[in-house]
């Protein structure tokens, strides 16, 4: 009596992942699953697991294919049902045609979410759509909760926030619904994924980034004292106008209209499209930022020519100010030591850019906060503080207009509306009782 056939095992022979196979007719064979240069280790082991399940059920049929991946595609998906990888490819191709590049030709931010979706659906890309259900989606959600990634320094490990995890899972729902609308995904499988609910606040598996309390005027003044004049002026413009960080970074004289001397109008990128070049360009809406007397006093000395397309705020200027400040505090007599400006490389590896970006501005602000002994502030904290003050004085609609939002529910993210409404009711009650 023949003994029980040994189950194939996957091993790495130094170049390829291979499986030794004992055939039903007692012969032996070997099947290659590719090299690490072709696929990741996770992809190979996932494919081998699927292949092994098929081999145990249909050994003769599986061995009739020269390539194990062909066997997986043909046997696991006999009716031509799309695999998850094919669905994702089609959705990404559709999205790239519709999600046009944003400012300066940068990739649309929603496409970055699709990159993350692909990363966490990697083990399932060869699965038929009908094999992916709520259990698999829960596994993806769990993987998102425990995933660590590096930003900046190698030891700076980060994890996704609860909101980031929920947004990624929501994108998977959205892709399945898109597929259902095109008859790729049966309705029952779209409904099945709805069993996986968004993570709730307080879930032990994840965390929320706490919002910083409103920036006080005293804190803002302390921080300004620790910045260069260039960065300080940029921060003051955000403080006074609630403009987005990239909008102050991209300011050019040619984008400013001076028809009304009391209130100039800044239209970001107004020479690039009829409605400018900004976050809401895709809605074909003009973004207008009013610049009143305080803002004008900051800008006038910095603008030698109003038709110029050069950026108003330059890192090179900030560096020059820094070097001038160092020279002013010099203790070595000028007749000895290095002459001012001589102790520098002719061809430095890092040179100041032609204009700031939002990340550079954020880093400069964080360094100033550290020197001033103030809790860390981001440029968006200044924007939110300006929006909250506007809401308190002039109402929600005024704050919406100032922030350049299309809907007031977007403005509510900045304003903590429940708190504002509670304060309004309390004041009305106090006035009524008085």
Q: Residues 51, 55, 57, 59: is their CA dihedral positive or negative?
A: positive
Whole-number Å distance between alpha carbons of 210 and 84: 36
For residue 414, count other CB atoms closer than 10 A to its CB: 22
Phi, psi (deg, nearest 5) at residue 18: -130, 160
Q: Give the H or E element holding residue 135.
A: helix 134-146
Residues of the chain with pLDDT under 50: 1-2, 408, 410-411, 413-419, 422, 425, 433
State if pTM tops 0.75.
no
Per-residue model confidence (pLDDT) at position 379 = 92
Which strand ranges, in their side-by-side order, compose the sheet holding 264-266?
A: 256-257, 264-266, 289-291
Q: Mean pLDDT for the chain?
A: 80
Place of tokens 């597929």: 179
Phi, psi (deg, nearest 5) at residue 382: -65, -40
Whole-number Å distance between alpha carbons of 63 and 82: 23
Residue 260: DSSP 8-state: S
Structure tokens at 7: 């189950």
Distances (CA, A) of 412 to 384, 397, 404: 10, 11, 13
279 neighbors 269 (Cβ within 8 angstroms): no
Per-residue model confidence (pLDDT) at position 394 = 56
The closest of 28, 25, 17, 21 to 7, measured between CA atoms, is 21
């Amino acid at each position: 009596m023949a003994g029980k056939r040994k189950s194939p095992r996957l091993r790495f022979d130094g170049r390829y992942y291979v499986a030794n196979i004992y055939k039903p007719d007692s012969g032996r064979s070997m099947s290659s699953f590719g090299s690490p240069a072709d696929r990741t280790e996770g992809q190979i082991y996932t494919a081998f697991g699927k292949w092994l399940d098929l081999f145990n059920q249909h050994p003769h049929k599986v061995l009739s294919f020269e390539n194990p991946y062909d066997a997986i595609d043909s046997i696991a998906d006999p009716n031509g049902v799309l695999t998850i990888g094919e669905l994702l490819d089609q959705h990404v191709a559709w999205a790239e045609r519709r999600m046009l590049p944003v400012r300066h030709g940068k990739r649309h931010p929603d496409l970055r979410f699709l990159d993350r979706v692909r990363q966490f659906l990697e083990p399932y890309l060869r699965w038929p759509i009908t094999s992916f259900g709520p259990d698999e989606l829960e596994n993806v959600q769990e993987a998102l909760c425990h995933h660590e990634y590096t930003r900046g320094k190698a030891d700076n490990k980060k994890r996704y926030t609860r909101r980031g995890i929920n947004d990624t899972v929501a994108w998977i729902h959205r892709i399945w619904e898109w597929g259902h609308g095109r008859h790729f995904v049966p309705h029952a499988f779209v409904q099945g994924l709805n069993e996986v609910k968004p993570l709730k606040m307080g879930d032990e598996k994840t965390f929320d980034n706490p919002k910083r309390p409103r920036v006080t005027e005293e804190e803002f003044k302390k921080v300004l004292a620790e910045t260069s004049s260039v960065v300080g002026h940029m921060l003051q413009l955000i403080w006074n106008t609630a403009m987005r960080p990239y909008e102050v970074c991209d300011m050019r004289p040619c984008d400013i209209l001076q028809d009304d001397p009391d209130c100039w109008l800044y239209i970001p990128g107004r020479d690039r499209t009829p409605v400018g070049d900004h976050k809401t360009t895709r809605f074909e809406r003009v973004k207008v930022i009013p610049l009143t007397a305080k803002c004008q006093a900051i800008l006038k000395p910095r603008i030698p020519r109003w038709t110029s397309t050069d950026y108003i705020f330059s890192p090179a200027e900030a560096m020059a100010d820094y070097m001038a400040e160092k020279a002013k505090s010099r203790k070595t007599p000028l007749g000895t030591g290095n002459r001012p400006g001589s102790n520098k490389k002719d061809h430095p590896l890092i040179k100041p850019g032609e204009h700031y970006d939002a990340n550079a501005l954020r880093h400069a602000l964080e360094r100033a906060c550290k020197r001033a002994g103030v809790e860390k502030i981001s440029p968006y904290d200044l924007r939110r503080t300006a929006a909250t003050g506007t809401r308190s004085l002039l109402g929600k609609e005024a704050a919406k207009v100032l922030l350049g939002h299309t809907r007031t529910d977007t403005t509510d993210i900045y304003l903590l509306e429940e708190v504002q409404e509670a304060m309004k009711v309390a004041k009305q009650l106090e006035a009524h009782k008085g």
